[in-house]
Amino acid sequence: MNVTFRPITWNLRTRSLTTGDHTLVMGILNTTPDSFSDGGGLMDLPDAIQRGVQLWGDGADIVDVGGESTRPGAEPVEVEAELARVLPVVEALASHGIIVSVDTYKPAVAEAAIDAGAEIVNDVTGLTDPDMMSLCAATSVGVVVMHMQGTPLTMQADPTYGDVVVEVGAFLAGRVHAAIEHGIDPSRIVVDPGIGFGKTFEHNLALLSGIGRVGGDVPVLVGTSRKRFLGTILDRAGRPSGSEDRDAATLATVTLAIAGGASVVRVHDVARTVDAARTADAIVRVHE
């Protein structure tokens, strides 16, 4: 395996994370009624907090809290509803010393979550809202800058690219440049090619295969967990699956992403991902 391992330090609002020891694992915590995999399961506050603590105990480096589904076809959620879903969870988890990311594209939600202790803003729209860009610069949070063609409501209607790896990479490079121009330190930025966000089955495979070319010199986060394209792969193999049955397939993509140079992986099943990631790390990080 010919892989050049490049450790990174990701500076957050008050803390920092490094991949010097291992690939970072971000655990997914959806406080939504309609997320594609676990929607409705964590609407009760004590259950959501318990799940976040469990993800941390299972080895997550970050717990990513979201209050609006961004599955294909999802309708937007009002700011007040999203705030009610995420703020108590963010505050409770941060009080336990857990590194919390808030999964939102709304500046008002991000600002309140940062005030409640969030260290990272995970923005599926790639900081295209100038107010979000300014907020992230002013608060010195870590940021995840993602690519999405269209919106969650429309993104899977007819996603089209000439060369998806080149075009997604160019978009992310442009957003990183804009972030730096607006005062966000490069050490706070991670990019996400947005697997499943305005991409066909073939586009997703191409991005995973070319993950080392997507981020350039910027650390890359890969989020494939339980997504529909994995169901397509399993269907074609004669093994039909629901979203909750795709954790083994997810682990395959996690290990391949790490081999391709990913610095962060975002998943539902943290415990098994940590096992798979540590194994991949041991292989990728062998120095001749």
Identify the CATH number of the domain in which residue 138 sits: 3.20.20.20
Look up the pTM and report it: 0.92
pLDDT at residue 6 in the model: 83
Q: Kindly report, residue by residue over 113-145, the tens digit of the pLDDT.
A: 999 999 999 999 999 999 999 999 999 999 999
Residue 47 has pLDDT above 70, yes or no: yes
Domain count, the chain: 1
pLDDT at residue 4 in the model: 65
Amino acid identity of residue 60, one-letter, is: A
Q: Could you tell me how many residues make up the chain?
A: 288
Q: Kindly report, residue by residue over 182-212, the tens digit of the pLDDT.
A: 999 999 999 999 999 999 999 999 999 999 9
pLDDT at residue 95 in the model: 97
Would you place residue 73 in the very low, low, confident or very high pLDDT band (cuts 50, 70, 90)?
low
- Give catalytic residue positions: 227, 266
Q: Kindly report, residue by residue over 76-125, the tens digit of the pLDDT.
A: 789 999 999 999 999 999 999 999 999 999 999 999 999 999 999 999 99
| Inside any domain, residue 99 | yes
| Inside any domain, residue 2 | no
Between 285 and 58, name the one with better pLDDT: 58
Residue 66 tokens read as 């979201």
Q: How far apart are CA 214 and CA 196, in angstroms?
A: 15
| Inside any domain, residue 115 | yes
Burial class (CB in 10 A: 0-12, 13-18, 19+), 139: middle
| Inside any domain, residue 13 | yes
| Inside any domain, residue 4 | no
Question: Which domain does 142 fall in, by range?
Answer: 9-284
